[in-house]
């Protein structure tokens, strides 16, 4: 744990591939996934789609954007790579709870905020971003912290920065994750404090929704709601789970008892991983890796 004033951050995961080279920064993609209480860092070599680094941090929670910037600054100051400014591309993914996915024909820049307001409460001072989700004919609209984006831009002035949202990255991951099923498939992602659920068939998205979680039993409740909506069996359907859950844990066993068909999801086949990543369960960091599919 590292302490700076009244804030702190704790690294809970670090994997670094032997093929990482500081001399090749200009061909690397840096992915930063920023949540309210966490940060994931991922580096991918764009020449061979090889994942070179993965780090996961728990950070102090704050609703104040300036305090968040100060906290991130303290983390970056202690890091040997993050202040480097010559990445080929930087992908900044926000994990805010205000977002929507809109079919492309219904979207225009002028009505982005209005469309988002149809799905959630949006304050006048909320910054609204949007981008086309590559794997789906839709636009992801979301809120983000403007001060945080400006701070990142002040660091990576020599790199192209793409701003995305976790929801769109999960859609990318689901719709580009082989093998694609001809039957209806349910994909759930257990996040810290949220459950994200997608229903797809072949390469078509049928549903995506997110649920705020306050206790474990709610994961089971909301998965059952999705299954009921599509009249899917809890014992015979294709149901995959990704995210922050240990497949040998009591929580996973509880999921399995209530929903027998549920199985851990597989890692994407669109990226290459060295042997050091064998210690990372294949069903984890599904959203982080999904950012790379939206280059």
Q: Render pLDDT for 17-26 as a digit per residue (tens, 0 to 9).
A: 999 999 999 9
Confidence of residue 172 (pLDDT cuts 50, 70, 90): confident
Taking the C-alpha atoms of residue 94 and residue 102, their distance in angstroms, rounded to an integer, is 18
Indicate if 136 and 190 belong to the same structural domain.
no
Bond into 179 cis (ω within 30): yes
Alpha helices in 136-240, H assignment, sequence order: 146-155, 166-175, 217-229
pTM to 2 decimal places = 0.92
Are residues 39 and 81 both part of a single domain?
Answer: yes
| Residue 111 covered by a domain | no
Torsional sign, CA 257, 245, 33, 200: negative
Q: Which residues are CB-contacts of 51 (< 8 A; sequence separation ≥ 6)?
A: 17, 42, 43, 44, 271, 272, 273, 274, 277, 289
Mean pLDDT of the chain: 91
Q: Is residue 180's pLDDT more than 80?
A: no
- Residue 31 and residue 288 in contact, taking contact as beta carbons nearer than 8 Å: yes
Average the pLDDT over 99-118 and give the result: 95
**Which residues, 6 or more positions from 192, have their beta carbon under 8 angstroms from its beta carbon?**
35, 37, 38, 244
Per-residue pLDDT tens digits for 36-93:
889 999 999 999 999 999 999 999 888 888 889 999 999 999 898 999 989 999 999 9
Residue 17 lies in a domain: yes
In a domain, 255, yes or no: yes
Based on the fold, state whether residues 205 and 242 are members of the same structural domain: yes
105 falls within a domain: no
Same domain, 189 and 52: no
Number of structural domains in the chain: 2
Residue 77 shares a structural domain with residue 192: no
Q: Give the CATH number for residue 192.
A: 3.30.420.260
CB 261 within 8 A of CB 235: yes
Taking the C-alpha atoms of residue 14 and residue 92, their distance in angstroms, rounded to an integer, is 19
Q: Classify residue 279: in a domain, yes or no.
A: no
pLDDT band at 203 (very low <50, low <70, confident <90, very high): confident
Same domain, 161 and 222: no
Q: How many residues does the chain have?
A: 295
Claim to verify: residue 150 and residue 9 sit in the same structural domain = yes
Same domain, 192 and 252: yes
Q: Averaged over 227-238, what is the pLDDT?
A: 95
How many angstroms from the chain centroid is the CA of residue 24? 25
Same domain, 251 and 155: no
Q: What is the pLDDT of residue 295?
A: 60
Q: 104 in a domain, yes or no?
A: no
Average pLDDT over residues 87-104: 94
State the residue range of the domain holding 250.
Answer: 178-265
Same domain as 80, residue 7:
yes
Structure tokens given for 275: 């042997």
What are the CA-CA distances from residue 242 to residues 70, 192, 229, 285, 294 (Å)? Answer: 31, 12, 21, 8, 19
Whether residue 102 lies inside any domain: the answer is no
Is residue 80 located within the same domain as residue 49?
yes
Q: Could you tell me if 186 and 237 lie in one domain?
A: yes
What CA dihedral angle connects 213, 118, 34 and 145, to 10 degrees?
A: -130
DSSP 8-state symbol, 282: T
> CA 158, 160, 163, 169: dihedral to nearest 10 degrees?
-130
Kind plus residue range of the DSSP H or E element containing 66: helix 65-77
Is residue 223 in a domain? yes
Q: Determine the Cα–Cα distance for residues 25 and 110; give it in Å rounded to an integer.
A: 37
φ/ψ region of 285 (left if φ > 0, alpha if ψ in -120 to 50, else beta) reads: left
Q: Could you give the angle at the alpha carbon of 241 between the alpha carbons of 238 and 245, nearest 5°?
A: 155
For the cut 50, the answer to whether the pLDDT of residue 247 exceeds it is: yes
């Amino acid at each position: 744990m590292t302490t700076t004033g009244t804030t702190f951050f704790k690294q809970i995961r670090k994997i670094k591939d032997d093929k990482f080279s500081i001399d090749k920064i200009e061909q690397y993609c840096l992915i930063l996934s920023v949540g309210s209480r966490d940060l994931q860092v991922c580096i991918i070599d764009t020449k061979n789609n090889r994942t070179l680094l993965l780090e996961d941090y728990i950070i102090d929670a704050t609703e104040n954007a300036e305090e968040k910037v100060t906290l991130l600054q303290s983390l970056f100051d202690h890091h040997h790579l993050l202040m480097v400014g010559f990445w080929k591309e930087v992908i900044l993914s926000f994990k805010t709870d205000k977002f929507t996915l809109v079919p492309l024909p219904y979207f225009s820049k002028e009505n982005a905020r209005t469309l988002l307001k149809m799905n959630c409460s949006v304050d006048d001072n909320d910054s609204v971003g949007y981008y086309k989700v590559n794997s789906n004919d839709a636009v992801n609209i979301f809120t983000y912290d403007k001060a945080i984006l400006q701070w990142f831009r002040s660091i990576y002035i020599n790199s192209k920065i793409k701003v995305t949202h976790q929801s769109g990255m999960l859609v990318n991951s689901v719709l580009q994750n082989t093998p694609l099923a001809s039957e209806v498939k349910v994909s759930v992602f257990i996040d810290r404090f949220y459950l994200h659920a997608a229903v797809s068939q072949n390469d078509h998205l049928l549903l995506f929704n997110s649920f705020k979680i306050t206790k474990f039993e709610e994961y089971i409740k909301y998965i059952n709601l999705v299954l009921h909506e599509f009249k899917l069996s809890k014992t015979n359907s294709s149901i995959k789970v990704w995210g922050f859950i240990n497949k040998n844990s009591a929580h996973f066993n509880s999921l399995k008892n209530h929903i027998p068909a549920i199985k851990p999801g597989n890692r994407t086949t669109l990226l290459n991983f060295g042997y050091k990543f064998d210690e990372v369960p294949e069903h984890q960091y599904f959203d982080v890796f999904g950012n790379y599919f939206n280059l």
